[in-house]
Structure 1
Amino acid sequence: MRLALFAALLSLAALPAFADGQSGWRFQATPHDLDRLERYEDAVTKGMMESRVAGEEHGTYNELVSVMEEETVEADAEKLKGQWNCRTIKAGGPFAGFVVYGWFRCEIVEKDGRLFFEKLTGSQRMSGFLYERDEKSWVLLAAPNEGHSGPIRDYSGPEGGVTDPQLIDEPAVVSLLKDGRARAVFPWPELESTFNVLEMTRR
């Protein structure tokens, strides 16, 4: 009887850990994306340094500083949901060192019981599910749309397999900022920059 009870308790204790683990971002990300996310801080440090000269020359470096250095707050799922204006800032790398793009539309909605991000307009559209990283951030595992503005594509998953730099998956760390904005930071993108940040403001 005691052995049966002990076995049952072990089984119950294991269920939450298994459910959380198998649904977490570490189990869903490709090996390449796990590596990029592991080196997130390095990408931000290097990209900020590389973009400083180019950004100051164009008088827009403070826009990058504003979104990257704003204090983060608890990333509550309900506060992330909704319609956003969003723009991409490319930091560092060989492309131009620093580029600020125009504003487009994004949204974060509930899909299949999870948070789902989609860039709705403009070029380089993407979409994907968000996974809790810690109390102040989420991991976005996104895939570019077909032809950049065509139908949405599923994220590759742990097996990976996509090698085309135009279609390869795009992982990001998503945070809510104290001033009401949000940001998604994409470390080590395949093309052009050291990191990209998608700045988001409420529509």
Structure 2
Amino acid sequence: MRLLGALLRQGWRGVAVLTAAGMLSACATGLSRSPALDEEPPAPPAPPPPNVTMLADWRGVITPADRDRYQRREAAWTVALEQARRLGGSGDLEALGALIDPQATLNDPVVPEGRYRCRTVKLGNTGDDEDLGYVVYGWFACRITRTDEGLTLTKLTGSQRVRGVFYPESETHMVLLGAMALANEARAPKYGQREDRDVVATLERIGERRWRVVTPWPQVESNLDILELVPAA
């Protein structure tokens, strides 16, 4: 009985010691699981640099009809080139070189601001085999400017004058969304206002100072339009 009492008395003291140690351990553990008081919250994202235009994603701007044309641009190349070579046309097709080669694209498609000479090549036709398979037009005037909308193309002369904005897309091409002014109209409508005037195209670099704007399935006449751009002298 004396031994049992001694053990019990020593045991209760041990329990008290263990209980106190357990509480301290729990408190320490709880503190270690909570965020450290000296940790700084993550910094907010930096604001955009001044005078830099933040472009919308073209996928949120493009119309369903133009999205379909854009997605079928490889087919437009195939059909248009087959018709052009089979039916013949106006101008020297083979002399165009890389301009009509769908694989001729180079990296870094961005075109610098400035004035350009530009000419249109229409490939294929939407009629029958009695129509021309291609037409190579003469040179007109174009301008590339940086506006609040982004890098913008304006064809200044000619009876079909496109104006549109270039949107970044890949290492080899940008996407143009724009609209066409015809004949003596003062300006083109805004993109999306008139479906029959809307233009979707790709901007591609094909030489040291040579670019092309390729329009698959244009609204009228052809199955592929190419607008060549070279800096004005």
TM-score normalised by length of structure 1: 0.78
- Cα deviation 1:119-138 (Å, max 9, x = unaligned): 01111012011101201111
Distance in 2, Cα, partners of 1:76 & 1:54 = 32
Structure 1's unaligned 5+ residue stretches are: 3-7, 13-21
Contact 1:125–1:148 (CA<8 Å) still a contact in 2? no
Distance in 2, Cα, partners of 1:171 & 1:133 = 13
Amino acid at match of 1:162: R
How many corresponding residue pairs? 180
Distance in 1, Cα, partners of 2:218 & 2:147 = 26
Matched, 1:122 2:176: no
The secondary structure found in structure 2 opposite 1:44 is: helix
Q: Which is greater in Rg?
A: 2
2:148 is matched with which residue: 93, 112, 117? 112
* Distance apart, 1:152 and its partner CA: 3.2
Distance in 2, Cα, partners of 1:148 & 1:139 = 27
Q: Which residue of 2 aligns with 1:88?
A: 120
1:176 is matched with which residue: 205, 208, 216? 205
The secondary structure found in structure 1 opposite 2:85 is: helix
- Cα deviation 1:80-106 (Å, max 9, x = unaligned): 322110011110012521111111011
Q: Which residue of 2 aligns with 1:17?
A: none
Q: Which residue of 1 aligns with 2:134?
A: 98
* Distance apart, 1:192 and its partner CA: 1.0
| Residues 1:146 and 1:71: Cα distance change in structure 2 (over 3 Å) | closer
TM-score normalised by length of structure 2: 0.69
| Residues 1:124 and 1:112: Cα distance change in structure 2 (over 3 Å) | same
* Distance apart, 1:180 and its partner CA: 1.8
- Cα deviation 1:31-86 (Å, max 9, x = unaligned): 0000000001110111111101334x656121444312273222353x43221100
| Residues 1:122 and 1:149: Cα distance change in structure 2 (over 3 Å) | farther
The secondary structure found in structure 2 opposite 1:175 is: strand
2:65 is matched with which residue: 24, 29, 32? 32
Distance in 1, Cα, partners of 2:165 & 2:141 = 17
Q: Which residue of 2 aligns with 1:60?
A: 92
Distance in 1, Cα, partners of 2:182 & 2:146 = 22
Q: Relative contact order (C-alpha < 8 Å, sep 6+): which is higher?
A: 1
Contact 1:125–1:149 (CA<8 Å) still a contact in 2? no
The secondary structure found in structure 1 opposite 2:59 is: helix
